[in-house]
């Protein structure tokens, strides 16, 4: 009986050692040995080793994949809001899309989205369709699903506190009373650490409230004059120049980094210095 017990114990120890060695062999096959481009026999089943190697490769690919920049323009959906001051974020996205030939037509996470490249850098362009005050519902979902780093989320929106057609790039900050930005911060768990491109729309006349001002469309006369470039009102020309400058800022940001883009935008231009 003692002999039988001894034999069983030895067999158990031997079996445990074989399984441990086989597991180690599979691990070596999946990592270090693969790096030399050679195949080694393994005592583990081929399917198990293949699954381990595939899992490792997928993890490596995910870690090394370049995350896209996400540029979000804020505004209100619908024809009645098109061309209003509150929708300059939408217009900036349209300007980027046209220049870079990116189709913004896919509907995802309560937004119209487009994906493409600026140079060789992947970018996403989005226009939330939730109405301004609920913009965070869309932005929060886009950031979470596509795993966008917050330093690569850039929100573009109108700003009453900046002179008309003035641009400002900031690395982070509060909502400044802007309800769209307030919603986004709420849906990013109160994080304010994401860049923003602010487009100045100026202050309303004394007799007009801020809400009426930002939702006001251009007059019929202004729209008619816009059809003829020689009759463009000055503010239309300023806004078109602002969109071109904003486009250049976006290109610099994705290719050369945020700091260079901020320097480009925030450094006063000669005309601005004369108007001081």
Distance (Å) of CA 224 to CA 60, 81, 218:
57, 18, 10
In the chain, the largest separation of any two C-alpha atoms, in whole Å, equals 109
Cα torsion for 134, 91, 226, 235, to the nearest 10°? 90
Whole-angstrom Cα distance, residue 234 to residue 221?
14
Distance (Å) of CA 266 to CA 2, 178, 257, 259:
88, 21, 15, 10
How many CB atoms are closer than 10 A to CB 53?
15
Alpha-carbon torsion (184, 185, 191, 194), positive or negative: positive
Pairing of strands 153-159, 121-128: unpaired
Whole-angstrom Cα distance, residue 81 to residue 100?
25
Q: Let me know if 175 is a catalytic residue.
A: no
Which of 86, 175, 178, 187 is labelled catalytic? Answer: 86
Catalytic residues: 86
């Amino acid at each position: 009986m003692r002999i039988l017990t001894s034999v069983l114990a030895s067999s158990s120890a031997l079996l445990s050692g074989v399984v441990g060695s086989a597991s180690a062999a599979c691990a070596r096959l999946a990592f270090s040995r693969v790096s030399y481009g050679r195949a080694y026999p393994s005592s583990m089943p081929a399917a198990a080793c293949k699954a381990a190697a595939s899992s490792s490769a997928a993890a490596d690919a995910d870690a090394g994949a370049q995350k896209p920049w996400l540029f979000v323009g804020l505004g209100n959906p619908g024809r009645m809001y098109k061309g209003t001051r509150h929708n300059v974020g939408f217009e900036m996205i349209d300007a980027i899309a046209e220049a870079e030939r990116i189709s913004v037509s896919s509907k995802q996470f309560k937004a119209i989205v487009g994906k493409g490249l600026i140079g060789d850098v992947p970018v996403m362009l989005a226009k939330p369709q939730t109405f301004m005050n609920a913009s965070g519902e869309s932005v929060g979902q886009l950031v979470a699903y596509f795993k966008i780093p917050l330093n690569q989320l850039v929100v573009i929106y109108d700003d009453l506190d900046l002179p008309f057609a003035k641009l400002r790039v900031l690395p982070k900050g509060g909502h400044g009373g802007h309800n769209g930005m307030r919603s986004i911060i709420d849906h990013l768990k109160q994080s304010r650490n994401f860049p923003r491109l602010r487009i100045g729309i100026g202050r309303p006349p004394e007799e007009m409230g801020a809400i009426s001002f930002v939702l006001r469309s251009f007059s019929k006369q202004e729209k008619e004059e816009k059809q003829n470039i020689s009759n463009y009102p000055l503010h239309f020309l300023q806004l078109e120049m602002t969109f071109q400058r904003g486009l250049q800022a976006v290109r610099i940001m994705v290719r050369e980094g945020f700091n260079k883009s901020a320097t480009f935008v925030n450094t006063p231009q000669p005309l601005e210095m004369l108007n001081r």
